Amino acid sequence: MSTELIEQKKNTPGRRTKYNKKVMSEICSELAIGKTIRQVLSPAVKGRPCWESFRTYLNKYPELREQYSNAKADGIEYSLCQAQELLNESL
């Protein structure tokens, strides 16, 4: 196979992910326990949309935007609690 064909296949976009409330809830649940959006939307995790698709969904579905905002706030709180525990252990 020539390099040109490999490059062509590599740059070919995949199939668009359809909006799925269950998948969006799973994503938000993972964000709520401190995972990053890059971890949650990693191509290694099957059935997850790419970042661009997820952003489109955030703009299209207000209920997802609210769920995402709440999950991010929870994730920040979770991470801060972990950091506080580590700080207390080191003192």
For position 56, what pLDDT does the model report? 96
pLDDT tens-digit readout, 70-83? 999 999 999 998 88
pLDDT tens-digit readout, 33-87? 999 999 999 999 999 999 999 999 999 999 999 999 999 999 999 999 888 888 8
Contact (Cβ atoms closer than 8 angstroms) between residue 70 and residue 62: no
